[in-house]
Amino acid sequence: MSAVAVALAPAATEPATACAHCGLPAGGGQFCCAGCEAAFATIQGLGLGRYYRQRVLDRQARAPRPEAHAPRDFSRYVTTDAAGNATLTLAVDGLQCGACVWLIESVLAQEPDLLLGRVNLTTRRLRLVWRGGAARAEALVARAEALGYRLMPFDPALLAAARDRTGRALIRALAVAGFAAGNVMLMSAATWFGLTQGMGPATRALMHWVSALIALPAIAYAGMPFFRSAFAALRQRRTNMDVPISVGVILVSAMSLVESFRGGLHTYFDSAITLLFFLLLGRVLDHQARGQARATAEHLLTLRAADVAVLQPDGGTRRVAHDAVAPAARVLVGMGERVGVDGVVEDGHSTLDASLVTGESVPAAVAPGAAVFAGTLNLGPALIVRATATGARTLLAECVRLIEAAEARRGRFVVLADRVARRYAPAVHILAAATFVFWWVVMGAGVADSLLTAAAVLIITCPCALALAVPAVQVLATSRLLRAGILVKSATALERLAQVDTIVFDKTGTLTEPMPTPLAEADADAWRTAASLAAASRHPLARALHAAMPDVPAARGAEEHPGRGIALAVAGGTVRLGSRAFCDLPAAPAATTELWLARPGRAPVRFGFEERLREDAAQVVAGLRALGLAVVLASGDQAVPVRRIAALLGITDVHAACTPADKVALIERLRGGGRHVLMAGDGLNDGPSLAAAHVSVSPATAADISQTVADVVFQGARLAPVVEVLRLARRARSAMRQNLALAIGYNALMVPLAAAGLVTPWLAAIAMSSSSLLVLGNSFRLQGRARRWT
């Protein structure tokens, strides 16, 4: 075996025992995680251990060998700042709602040396900052994993795979619960009608046992997401919303099983499985609403070159990781490669697609001495770049940090979920316990009847309607927008869009068309000559020039000089199309982007390029003002073209020559003044400001990174979708408030009836289901004919 292979070989570990539930390595214990322990206890409690034993054996046969798993070393992913504080960013698998966020953060807050423990529900990231060395990471991770969540080094691919697995598991659980609920309800209906039609005890008992055979396995399977979460919370001596749900389902199932053994008149398997069906429906909707959440910083990181070709003293190259490049190293960037470092061009002439940095669609010409940045794409010949910043010190990495800092802000619904999680579950438990004591002690009812009344309270107070109130509106509204060519990527974007009172526009590619319009006071011969030369180039300005006269054939023998222009040798001299310097003209400032045509014996001709406003830009700006919004223009362009566009649109609040930090500072000032800012832009230079804004939109013609960062992406050549999404967001906010009012009103009406013993568990399930359907019906009012913007 080679030395490299030996070095990469995993270290030997002690043999790990198999988990008693899933069969995966358990690390020397009986279970691999708290979730499996909860699942095992639930299955045993329902008497289904023998049913699952063969499944465990099958999983053990398929599981990887324990010795193939090396212990995780999180200390490798820890970074330390100048103050000695350690930072670790992890992906969290198993997050369901704001209660999960509160539970993880409240447990980690007990660690005395922890400075920050923040969970981002949208991106499912946990960021830890603590005093001390990297070795402390293992203990902090263990505290979070003890709650039943799985933590892993942040890897977008792993997180996407985990999210897909969770989605598929929820769909399977929903399908099982729906199938079982439909069949058990049929059995229950037959039993109810049989009570008035003289059904005999033997037939009734058969119906009850058939219902049990259908319901109990389905409850054990479909209830796992709730049972695991509840068990993990109880292990930490805490409660969450899943605890009363689990208690109610298990209590009703156990009581029904007892009644089946006793030959009683009533069982309530239908109540338990119907309850799970509607709970899972809410969770699936929520998962889908959050499944399109943006993955901003991780997409930014994919723009970095996987490795970099570093020139060696002997003239050869050695490819190393981008963060392993030493400062002042000489890097070779070939055609079609992304620049992996920030640096200065030392040798070579080329053009770079810098739209991810500048936001401008026109590639930039670079020559020796020009500054280049990581993430830009080399469109021409190879360059030699002297590195000035590498790894985490590049502009690209700085944009990542700005976006992560902006995303760390808490949404209003997350804060509300935290409060509900702290108060809802204890209140429900106290109410159910008080109901049981009242009926058993005060009213003298039997234990079974008192338990059923308490179970009815647990079921009827289930937050099904509350769980559906927001996700249902989000899914239906976003599906309508999607039919109109508007993609809403963030689960909380609609709520934030409804609060917008200020919109900040970028100029190029947002208010204007991506393709500039060539302008020149020239004769037809000059236009044809310029178009024929331009046809031989792929430069965007050349393409725009040729698009003005598409029937003109390309000039034969034209030679392109990257970053400078195109030349064609003719009788009497050379025809040139390009920059002032390329055409041997004196330097002079220009108000717009330009190309020059120089022909032997003729005066040079200037072709200016005017950016065209989107077709309905002025109408949209007027419409936004009609909605009561303040409109701001902030661009990285120079003052002259920016103010010209602002004048055409009637925008008076104008900011030109803005760097990414300037745009973020502008948005922070607006937010500091109490404004809710919508940012509309494209390009990497807009990435931090898109993330810093209260909510953000981007056109589909924008750079990929802007579409990734933005909460909303709209298609088509028009700006009208911006107005459409704002209007629908306000309607969605009204629907959310109505749904919440319906859900709260339902509880205020039905809970006293259940506590008074006027509602049985099956009636509680019907009432709970009706409230959920009422909320869904109100949400469906958002569906309508969507207009497709083209």
Exposed/middle/buried for residue 696 (C-beta within 10 Å: 0-12, 13-18, 19+): buried
Q: Which helix (H) or strand (E) holds 738?
A: helix 720-755
Which residues, at least 6 apart from 242, have a Cβ–Cβ distance to it below 8 Å? Answer: 99, 225, 226, 227, 229, 230, 233
Look at residues 290, 220, 164, 269 and name the one whose alpha carbon lies nearest to residue 42: 220
User: Catalytic annotation on 347?
Assistant: no
Distance between CA atoms of residues 527 and 521, nearest Å: 10
Q: Which conformational region is residue 655 in: left (phi greater than 0), alpha (psi within -120 to 50 degrees), or beta?
A: beta
What is the DSSP code (8-state) at residue 151? E
Rounded Cα distance, 417 and 97, in Å: 8
What does residue 454 show for φ and ψ, rounded to 5 degrees?
A: -65, -40
Residues 341/362, Cβ–Cβ less than 8 Å:
no
Distance CA 33, CA 40 (A): 11
How far, in Å, CA of 262 to CA of 271, rounded?
19
Residue 731, classified by CB atoms within 10 Å of its CB into exposed (0-12), middle (13-18) or buried (19+), is middle
Q: Residues near 588 by Cβ (< 8 Å), separated by ≥ 6?
A: 580
Q: How many residues does the chain have?
A: 790
Q: Are strands 150-153 and 85-93 parallel, antiparallel or unpaired?
A: antiparallel
* Alpha-carbon span 691 to 280, nearest angstrom: 32
Gap between the Cα atoms of 608 and 264, Å rounded: 89
Question: Residue 597 phi/psi, 5° resolution?
Answer: -115, 120
Q: How far apart are CA 753 and CA 732, in angstroms?
A: 32
**The residue type at 243:** V
- In angstroms, the CA 37 to CA 22 distance is 10
Burial of 41-60, coded b for 16+ CB within 10 Å and e otherwise, reads ebbeebebeeebeeebeebe
Residues 6 or more apart whose CB falls under 8 angstroms from that of 537 comprise 543, 560, 566
Q: How many CA atoms lie within 13 A of 450 on its CB side?
A: 16
Could you give the CA distance from residue 675 to residue 499 in angstroms, rounded to a whole number?
9
SS3 sequence, 283-311?
Answer: HHHHHHHHHCCCCHHHHHHHCCCCEEEEE
DSSP for 475-521, please give it: HHHHHHHHHTTEEE--TTHHHHHTT--EEEE-IIIIIB-SS-EEE--
Alpha-carbon gap, residue 407 to 493, rounded angstroms: 13
Q: What are phi and psi of 17, to 5 degrees?
A: -75, 160
- Asked if 103 and 236 touch (Cβ cutoff 8 Å), the reply is yes
Which candidate in 270, 506, 682, 686 is catalytic? Answer: 506
Known catalytic residues? 506
